[in-house]
Structure 1
Amino acid sequence: MIIYKTREEIELLRKAAQVVSRTLGKVAEKIEPGVTPLELDRLAEDYIRSQNAVPGFLGLYDFPNSLCISKNEQVVHGIPDNTPLKEGDIVSIDCGAILNGYYGDHAFTFAVGEVDDETQKLLDVTKECLYLGIEECRAGSRLGDIGFAIQNHAEKHGYGVVRELVGHGIGKEMHEEPQVPNYGKRGRGKKLKEGLVVAIEPMINMGTKAIKQLDDGWTIITRDKQPSAHFEHDVAIVDGKPDILSTFDYVEEALEKKAKVHG
Structure 2
Amino acid sequence: MASIPPGVLGALDPTSDRAAFRQIADQLREAIDKGRFKEGAKLPSESELVEHYGKTRMTVRNALGILQGEGLTVHEHGRGVFVRPRPPVKRLASDRFARRHRDQGKAAFVVEAEAAGSRPEVDSLEVREERSTPDISARLGSARKVLARRRRYLLDGKPVETAVSYLPLDIARNTPIAEPNPGPGGIYARLEELGHELDHFEEEVRARMPAPDEVKTLRLASGVPVIHLVRTAYDTDGRAVEVCDTVMSADAYVLAYQLPAS
Normalised by the length of structure 2, the TM-score is 0.33
More strand by share: 2
Normalised by the length of structure 1, the TM-score is 0.33
Query: Which has more radius of gyration?
Result: 2
